Each structure stands twice: as structure tokens, then as C-alpha cells.
């Protein structure tokens, strides 16, 4: 509680005391019991109350986030040329008063949700894009009063600046900026550029009306139901196309894999055939060399052939009878070519 409020409270209390004294004096007078010194007491109480009232009327205390315009009946233009800041100030009682403004940052929101915006109900901004699509935008602007321009603000708008300046400037800036972009640009590649365009226009509009823009927030962008449905169908079609392309690519990969497997099997078969052929060749060469060696042995030892033949006969046969005139199974040693 500041000293100005305390003085105002004391002044009010003193007037209640004056009224109480007067009532008491009247009651005692009606009972033929006059109050001694009643007149002097009443006069003293009135003078004291007037002094407190005058003093409290002349003292004005502003909080740290407040600034004020002194409205004056004794100034030629009706107000002091300089605003008053936070703290305790003295104004001429009963002929001057202070119109208080907040210099703290304020947020003005326009949104679809009924309870979020400054105006109840759907207060989003409707705008049309360059290609004729209707969009709905939720936005907030954070701003404050320019202390150096408070007198001008008071003269021009007084405390109506929120409804008459902030709201129309923001809505107009958003509509103007949106009309410069296509709907695809707004939701994708140029959203940041759109926000910057809106922010610059709002800052200029508020500055021209003694206000400072601290920040702009483009909270949400939504479309008409028809366009939203079309976008959804397009996205579904794109997803299906991507899925089809994925399936085609998968089939290509499967076919390539099968081709590589078949190629591998064919290469393996060729390698196996080459190996088999080489093994056969080596075996044939080995047999040829063996036969050559055997022929050389028999050439030098012809009796070995007869010996081997005899070994092949059943081991229990000791005598072989041949019909007369039957030639020997093997040629004689003298018949073997040398």
C-alpha cells in the first residue's frame, strides 16, 4: 500500500468521524444534553478532513509498470506536456488528475479456440492466398506503449488503442501478406518469409500509432474443409505412388537377386564341368602313361603276361586239359612281337 492510498483512507475515515460527531451532537441536543464544544469539535474535524482530502487528492503513486498523463484544468492545452513515471507525484488537487497507462508488455491474441483470444468465439483471421484459397490463421502480437509517445497516444486513442489500433493493424497486415503467397508456399517453403513480412508490416503500423511491437507469433494455419480434404487425398495418392514405386523397386531387386543366383549357379556348373573335364584329362593321361609303362615292361618281360594269366585262373585248378588241336590261349614267347 502506498502513501497516497493511506492518506485517502485516513481522509475517508476522518469524514466518517465528522459525521459521527454531528450525529452525536444532534442526538444529545434532542435529549436536552448539549455536547460541550460540539461546534469547535465539528469544525476541527472538518478542517482536518479537508486537509487530508486535499493532500490525498494531490498525491499520486504509480507502480513500476505504470506511466501516466497529467490531465490539468490550469494548462492551456488541458494536459502537462510530459508524462509522469513510476513513484510518488504531486498534482494540483481537484484541478489535476492522472490518467494511468500500463507500460508492461501486452499480448493480443486472435484464435479459433473460443477461450484463447481477446474476443470470445472463433476470432481467427480469414485471408485468401494468391491462388484464391481461403485460409484461417491464429496469431498473437506482443506489444507495449512507447513511453516517449504517451501524450500523443492519449490524445489520439486514449485507452481504446487495443480495439482501434492493435486489432485492425494486425488483421490487415496478415491479410495483405497472405495475398502475396500461394497456399503451398504458406504451408511449406515460405512460411518463415510470410511471418517476417507480417511482422515488419505490424511493427510499422503500431509505431505509427505510438506503440512498440515486441514480437509476432503465427500460431496456426488451417484451410477450408474442402481444401483440407483435397490435400488429404493428394497425400494419400502420393503415399500410394511411393508404395507402388517401392514395390517395383523391391521386385527389381528380387529379380536382380535371382539373376545373380542363377549366374552364380551357372558359373559354378561351368567351373564344375571344367574341373571334371580337367580331371578326366588328367586321368586319361595317367592311364596312357600307365599303359605305356606296362607295354614297356611286357616288351622287356613277355613271360609276365603268361604269369598274370595263370594267376587269374582259379587257385584250386592245378591241371588244364585241352582238346587236341586246340591252340594255346596265349601265344608262345617266340610269337610276341619285339
Q: Where, residue-wise, is CATH 3.30.479.30 in the chain?
A: 106-223
Handedness of CA 259, 264, 265, 270 (dihedral sign): positive
Instruction: Encode pLDDT of 105-124 as tens digits.
Output: 999 999 988 888 888 888 89
Residue 279 burial (CB count, 10 A): 10
Residue 15 has pLDDT above 90, yes or no: no
The pLDDT value given to residue 273: 79
40 φ/ψ angles, rounded to the nearest 5 degrees? -60, -40
The pLDDT value given to residue 152: 94
The pLDDT value given to residue 36: 62
The pLDDT value given to residue 283: 80
The pLDDT value given to residue 333: 46
Model confidence, pTM? 0.60
Cα–Cα distance measured from residue 39 to residue 33, given in angstroms and rounded to the nearest whole number: 14
The pLDDT value given to residue 18: 78
**Binning pLDDT at 50, 70 and 90, where does residue 337 land?**
very low
**Binning pLDDT at 50, 70 and 90, where does residue 336 land?**
very low
**Binning pLDDT at 50, 70 and 90, where does residue 321 land?**
low
The pLDDT value given to residue 204: 96
Instruction: Encode pLDDT of 237-251 as tens digits.
Output: 666 777 777 778 888
Instruction: Encode pLDDT of 182-230 as tens digits.
Output: 888 888 888 899 999 999 999 999 999 999 999 999 999 888 776 666 6
Residue 43 has pLDDT above 60, yes or no: yes
Alpha-helical (H) ranges within the chain are 3-30, 38-58, 150-156, 161, 167-178, 183-187, 191-207, 225-300, 303-312
Q: How wide is the angle at C-alpha 154 spanned by C-alphas 153 and 158, nearest 5°?
A: 105
The pLDDT value given to residue 218: 92
Long-range contacts for 282-290 (Cβ within 8 Å, ≥24 apart)? none
Half-sphere exposure of 323 (CA within 13 A, CB side): 2
CATH number of 106-223: 3.30.479.30
Residues with Cβ within 8 Å of 61's Cβ and at least 6 positions away in sequence, in order, are 2, 3, 4, 5, 87, 88, 89
| DSSP state letters, 181-210 | S-HHHHHTTTHHHHHHHHHHHHHHHHHTTT
Amino acid at each position: 500500500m502506498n502513501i497516497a492510498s493511506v492518506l485517502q483512507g485516513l481522509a475517508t475515515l476522518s469524514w466518517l468521524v465528522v459525521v459521527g460527531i454531528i450525529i452525536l451532537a444532534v442526538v444529545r441536543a434532542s435529549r436536552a444534553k448539549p455536547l460541550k464544544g460540539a461546534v469547535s469539535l465539528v469544525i476541527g474535524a472538518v478542517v482536518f478532513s479537508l486537509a487530508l482530502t486535499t493532500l490525498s487528492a494531490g498525491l499520486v503513486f504509480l507502480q513500476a509498470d505504470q506511466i501516466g498523463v497529467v490531465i490539468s484544468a490550469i494548462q492551456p492545452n488541458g494536459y502537462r506536456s510530459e508524462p509522469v513515471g513510476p513513484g510518488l507525484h504531486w498534482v494540483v488537487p481537484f484541478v489535476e488528475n492522472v490518467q494511468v497507462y500500463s507500460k508492461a508488455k501486452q499480448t493480443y491474441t486472435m484464435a479459433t479456440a473460443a477461450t484463447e483470444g481477446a474476443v470470445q468465439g472463433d476470432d481467427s483471421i480469414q485471408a485468401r492466398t494468391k491462388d484464391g484459397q481461403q485460409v484461417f490463421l491464429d496469431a498473437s502480437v506482443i506489444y507495449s506503449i512507447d513511453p516517449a509517445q504517451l501524450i500523443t497516444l492519449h490524445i489520439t486513442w486514449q485507452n481504446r488503442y487495443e480495439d482501434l489500433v492493435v486489432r485492425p493493424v494486425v488483421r490487415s497486415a496478415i491479410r495483405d501478406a497472405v495475398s502475396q503467397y500461394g497456399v503451398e508456399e504458406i504451408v511449406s517453403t515460405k512460411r518463415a518469409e510470410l511471418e517476417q513480412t507480417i511482422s515488419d508490416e505490424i511493427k510499422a503500423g503500431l509505431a505509427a500509432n505510438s506503440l512498440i511491437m515486441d514480437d509476432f507469433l503465427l500460431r496456426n494455419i488451417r484451410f477450408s474443409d474442402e481444401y483440407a480434404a483435397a490435400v488429404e487425398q493428394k497425400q494419400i495418392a502420393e503415399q500410394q505412388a511411393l508404395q507402388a514405386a517401392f514395390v517395383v523397386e523391391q521386385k527389381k531387386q528380387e529379380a536382380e537377386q535371382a539373376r545373380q543366383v542363377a549366374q552364380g549357379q551357372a558359373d559354378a556348373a561351368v567351373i564344375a564341368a571344367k574341373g571334371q573335364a580337367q580331371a578326366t584329362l588328367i586321368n586319361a593321361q595317367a592311364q596312357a602313361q600307365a599303359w605305356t609303362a606296362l607295354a614297356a615292361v611286357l616288351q622287356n618281360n613277355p613271360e609276365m603276361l603268361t604269369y598274370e594269366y595263370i594267376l587269374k585262373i582259379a587257385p584250386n585248378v592245378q591241371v588244364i586239359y585241352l582238346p587236341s588241336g586246340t591252340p594255346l590261349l596265349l601265344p608262345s614267347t617266340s610269337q610276341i612281337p619285339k
